[in-house]
Amino acid sequence: MLALLLAASLRVLQPFLVSAAWAVVIVVTGWPTMLALQQRLGGRRWAAITVLMLGLLVLLVLPVMAAVGAAVANAGEIAERIKQLGTLDLPAPPAWVAGLPVIGERLVALWQQVAAAGIEGLLARLAPYAGAVTRAFIARAGDIGFILVEIGLALGFAAMLFAQGEDAARSAARFGRRLAGRTGSDAVDLAMRAIRGVAIGVGGTAVLQSVLAGLGLAAAGVPFAALLTAVIFVSCIAQLGTPVVMLPAVIYVYWTGETGWGTALLVWSIIIGTADNVVRPLLIQRGVDLPFWMVFTGVVGGLIAFGLVGLFVGPVVLAVVGMLAERWLSGRRTGGADARPPGTD
């Protein structure tokens, strides 16, 4: 009977689980900031929560609004740049391209075909794929409203958790103790630290990658570098990475005849595009004392298995399982003498 009730409860709560998970991430990560704001605002928690929620809205919306606003403001110049592409000729491939192992000759042949066809030929080749991409985008456009609803629910749940944070923390610790004694309580604490570490790692990596990518775009003379930097930041937060912007930028620089700058930007793009696989786990490791391999596999595996929220789920699960396994191997029985019987809290 109890199992049926639990299954029914999970079924009812299923539409809200993702938003609730993001709310927990927001609260665990932002709790020190909320306490600092509360102290500065004379101990008024509601005021601190309001300021923090507004700040989160700005953080989530401002990069998108800045990118859209810049695109609208420079629509005429963007259109003119696109027209100019039709008058440009792709230069000969650099000598080092032919020397690349395995793919060098194929790249040179492809480069020469594209240069001979010109921009019109390239667009003709891409037309069938563009149709498929457009249809896929339209099919996904309906999800935008759902995503906005999820963001609103996550912020609403986060505000409620901020208001009752101490009670929620005590309940989580008590739940852990009921399950596995002191080990369960320690597992809850480790999970909270892992969540905070992942949030710092994801945010810090996105800022670092977008800034470095923006500097590269500006140095290579790519137009609208500030606009593209904002797009890269949003893309990195969404775990789409820098290639969404950097690859077209490299193609543009090559097409304008700046082979040297194009090659430099290509190398720079590869460096910053792959750096997140190392930088993110290192930043996460600074927030929580876990082995590098555990953080790396948790982040990558969680992202593949659960999507964006898996960035947090993966390291937390591996951290808790690792701690339980370590204590079991060291002879500390889960729920041993320090476990408290029900009703003693």
Which sign does the torsion angle of CA 52, 57, 63, 65 carry?
negative
pLDDT digits (tens, 9 = 90+) for 94-148: 666 666 676 777 777 877 776 666 656 665 665 565 555 555 555 554 555 566 6
Nearest CA-CA partner of 242 in 207, 291, 218: 207
Sign of CA dihedral 178, 29, 312, 9: positive
User: Where does the pLDDT of residue 215 fall: very low under 50, low under 70, confident under 90, or very high at 90 and above?
Assistant: very high
Residue 310 lies in a domain: yes
Q: Is the pLDDT of residue 260 over 90?
A: no
Among residues 94, 79, 74, 67, the alpha carbon closest in space to that of 253 is found at 94
In a domain, 341, yes or no: no
Residue 197's identity, in one-letter code, is: G
* More confident of the two residues 335 and 40: 40
Range in 31-35, 139-143, 253-257 with the lowest mean pLDDT: 139-143
Distance CA 189, CA 94 (A): 55
Is 24 among the domain residues? yes
Residue 4 maps to a domain: no
Q: What is the number of domains present in the chain? A: 1
Residue appearing with tokens 């004379």:
42
Which pLDDT belongs to residue 269?
Answer: 92
Task: Return the percent helix, strand and coil in the chain, to nearest 5.
Answer: 85, 0, 15
Domain assignment of residue 78, yes or no: yes
DSSP letter for 92, please: P
- Is residue 302 classed as helix, strand or coil in its secondary structure? helix
d(C-alpha 5, C-alpha 225), whole Å:
55
- Residue 47 belongs to some domain of the structure: yes
Look up the domain containing 214 and give its range.
Answer: 15-330
Residue 217's pLDDT is 92
Residue 339, domain member (yes or no): no
Q: Is the pLDDT of residue 197 over 50?
A: yes
For 163-192, write each residue's pLDDT tens digit. Answer: 888 888 888 888 888 877 777 788 888 888
Q: What is the mean pLDDT of residues 35-59?
A: 88
Within-domain flag for 291 = yes
pLDDT of residue 214: 92
H runs (alpha helix) in 99-224:
104-141, 143-163, 165-219
What are the φ and ψ backbone dihedral angles of 323, each rounded to 5 degrees? -65, -45
**pLDDT over 90 for what percent of the chain?**
9
Q: Is the pTM of the predicted complex or chain greater than 0.85?
A: no
State yes or no: pLDDT of 27 exceeds 80: yes
| Mean pLDDT in residue range 253-271 | 86
Structure tokens at 36: 């600092």
CB 25 within 8 A of CB 199: yes
Tell me the average pLDDT of the chain: 76
What is the DSSP code (8-state) at residue 86? T
CB 230 within 8 A of CB 244: no
